[in-house]
Amino acid sequence: DIQVTQSPSSVSASVGDRVTITCRASEGISNWLAWYQQKAGKAPELLIYAASTLHSGVPSRFSGTGSGTDFTLTISSLQPEDVATYFCQQGNDFPWTFGQGTRVEIK
Amino acid sequence: QVQLQESGPGLVKPSQSLSLTCTVSGDSISSGDHYWSWIRQHPGKGLEWIGYVKYSGATHYNPSLTSRASISVDRSKNQLSLMLTSVTAADTAVYYCARASLNVDDYGAGSLVFWGQGSLVTVSS
């Protein structure tokens, strides 16, 4: 299985701050990485696919970069509604695997 | 808009089988363009992909489920189903169904675009 290691496990930042979350795959996955946002008690929602393509309706303060093994999700200006847990997921090979998640909170 | 809705018992006894159904609206499973997947999330934990079924009935499972999982499709009802046998407390989780596209030009490879709201299954006697 391809392991996906996500860091940090949690981050606390102020409104307006830049927040960066990273995912590292145990082997190259091209750009087949997706990012999801999961708010408390809800299902995950797709934010970014193919490492850097913003899903329809997702605010432009979210962005994704990377290819191969190293990927980054950036929130350029943290907003109160961004409080959630964020997951990355590789779709390059079965079984599809997820990162452990990053909880984002407002300081 | 594509919508998925999980349904099934919220409580299952140890050693029995867990059975869930996902009803799809706004899309036809028979369209043939998607991986219809099941994913689970243990309480307070991360996400685990269980497997998928295509419209043809072809399946693929996560080896971690050690052959206990079975996913099927009922095209006449536009539903997919999950059965997990010999459950233990470790199978207590929220179970989600979700749709990913077969065509990487749509949303990349493996991106789960549409999700159900989830169904909590507790394994307990």
Q: What are the tokens at B54?
A: 């295509």
Q: Which residue of B has its CA nearest to A86?
A: B46
Cβ distance A89 to B46 less than 8 Å, yes or no, reads no
CB contact under 8 A, B109 and A44: no
Gap between the Cα atoms of B62 and B48, Å rounded: 9
Q: Hey, how many other C-beta atoms are within 10 angstroms of the C-beta on A85? A: 20
The 10s digit of each residue's pLDDT in A44-81 is 999 999 999 999 999 999 999 999 999 999 999 999 99
CA distance B122 to B90: 9
Mean predicted confidence (pLDDT) in A10-34: 97
Is A98–B49 a contact, with Cβ atoms under 8 angstroms apart? Answer: yes
Chain A touched by B64 (CB under 8 Å): yes
Is the CB of A90 less than 8 angstroms away from the CB of B47?
A: no
In chain B, which residues have their Cβ closer than 8 Å to the Cβ of A49?
107-108, 111, 113
Q: ω into residue A95 within 30 of 0, thus cis?
A: yes
B95 chain-A contacts, CB cut-off 8 A: none
pLDDT tens digits along B65-124: 979 999 999 999 999 999 999 999 999 999 999 999 888 888 988 999 999 999 999 999
Rg (CA), chain A: 13
Give every CB contact of residue B42 below 8 A, 6+ residues apart in sequence: B48, B90, B92, B93
Beta bridge partners of B61: B51
And the tokens for B100? 């990913």
